[in-house]
Amino acid sequence: MEKTPRVEYRTEVGTTREQIAVLVVRHLADRQGLAFTSVLVLSILAREGPTRLTALAIAEGISQPSMSQLVQRLEKLGLVARVSDPDDGRAALIGITDGGRALIAQRQRARHGRLADLIRTLSTEDEAALTLAMHVAQPIIGRMVRNAAAADPAAK
């Protein structure tokens, strides 16, 4: 089967996406302290607000007992707290604390600093090309993220 230019382009996009993932996971992410899943849960809570434990488990693709243990560890660290569900007084929601928000913000600043250090290793021309490419790609990637979230049954 012959590859069309569009199929080849999609392959190149996929390869570039994988390279970006490696850059983020291996070189920019803070691999000290909290596990990746813990950080993802804190990020969800920071973005979406208080959430049921079952919804967090579904969003992360882990069992409810595993999420319960994770939430208990995050509670002990003062990063999350249980709050009453305004729609069901018998149920509790998991919310991020000020300490959790501060941790997420600190990790983001550190990531941005590591990225800035890497960008400084580029030539002026490469930095300008990367800046232009990101200005073009960012809104498109944003749409792809929204499309993926809308198509994900676990997100509903």
Confidence of residue 84 (pLDDT cuts 50, 70, 90): confident
pTM of the model: 0.75
User: Residue 2 has what pLDDT?
Assistant: 62
pLDDT at 4 over 60: yes
pLDDT digits (tens, 9 = 90+) for 50-82: 999 999 999 889 999 999 999 999 999 999 999
Q: What is the mean pLDDT of the chain?
A: 88
pLDDT at 156 over 60: no
User: Residue 67 has what pLDDT?
Assistant: 95
Q: Are 88 and 71 in contact (CB under 8 A)?
A: no
Percent of residues, the chain, with pLDDT higher than 90: 55
Q: From CA 124, how far away is CA 122, in angstroms rounded? A: 6
Would you list the DSSP string of 19-41?
Answer: HHHHIIIIIIS--SSS-HHHHHH
Considering just the CA atoms, what is the radius of gyration of the chain in Å? 19
